[in-house]
Amino acid sequence: MLASLRAFRESIFWRQFRQNHLAIAGGVVVVLLGLAALLASVLAPYDPAAYDVKQILLSPSPAHWFGTDQLGRDLLSRMLYGARISMSVGFVSVGIAVVIGTLIGTMAAYYGGRTDELLMRFVDLMLNFPRFFLLLTLIAFLRPSIFVIMAVIGLTGWMGLARLVRSEILSLKEREFVLSARALGARDRRIMFRHILPNALVPVLVSATLGVAGAILAESGLSFLGLGVQPPTPSWGNILIDGKANIEIAWWLSVFPGMAILVTVLAYNLLGEGLRDALDPRLHQ
């Protein structure tokens, strides 16, 4: 264990990554947000769904650090539980997109020919639809829920990753280790998933990190429009709806969830850029 930790600290990746102070800051924020989401039930000072008509629209104070909303619910508690929703949507939807994009990109690059042409034309067709309007269209035909949001965001966010994986595998499939595996009689599935794909995971990891930020932003936008996570389940987007309705008298309902979305998306983007710079050997030449 200690030897592995020492080897990691001496690796080229860690030496490059720790020089990027913005990426380190982004990583710290991501970890803290993850802990806040996991420990929401412990950290939240109040029940996020508890109504109190005597505490309506109270400004931030020692009793309610982020104030209360129009139903007297504690905003800090709702935002902590909302972080769970945002992180869950981000990770699950990106997981769906990674699986679909990786499979399609791998098959298109490895088999080539008509398979590549057919799959890439399908990717081009999907890219012709603006993603947010595609999200709105799909959700309009479905009943909004957290599971539907996860699935829809994942099913509309894999196209760029498929192209990225395809380009990486096109440069790998003629390498010596792949030719050796073919010469030894390895099956296509084994060559693709045992020999080629592990060597193409660096851009997938970076794209997934950046994709979490995009998924969180998409969920917040849908919830803000009333098409995402439905009340009383708290999410940063539907908290912003309350802020819009009371922006003249309760600024905290807009500022705090807005800042949470901003900081989260920025942190994931900084971390993703830092991982790309540290993991891409072409940038170190």
Q: What is the mean pLDDT of residues 142-168?
A: 86
Dihedral sign (CA 6, 7, 8, 12) = positive
End-to-end CA distance of the chain: 31
Task: Name 17's Cβ contacts closer than 8 Å, sequence gap at least 6.
Answer: 23, 24, 274, 275, 277, 278
Give me the torsion for CA of 216, 220, 222, 226, rounded to 10°.
150
Give me the torsion for CA of 219, 220, 225, 228, rounded to 10°.
40
**Between 189 and 160, the higher pLDDT residue:** 160
Please tell me the predicted confidence (pLDDT) of residue 260.
Answer: 92
pLDDT (tens digit, 9 = 90+) per residue, 237-281? 888 888 887 888 889 988 999 999 999 999 999 998 888 877 765
CATH of 15-45+67-284, one of 1.10.1240.10, 3.40.50.10140, 1.10.3720.10, 3.30.750.24: 1.10.3720.10
Q: What is the mean pLDDT of residues 59-78?
A: 90
pLDDT band at 2 (very low <50, low <70, confident <90, very high): very low
- For tokens 């679909």, name the residue: 100
> What's the pTM?
0.83
**Residues of the chain with pLDDT > 90: what percent?**
21
- What's 15-48 look like in SS3? HHHHCCHHHHHHHHHHHHHHHHHHCHHHHCCCCC
Q: Where do the structural domains in the chain lie, given as residue ranges?
A: 15-45+67-284
283 pLDDT higher than 60: no
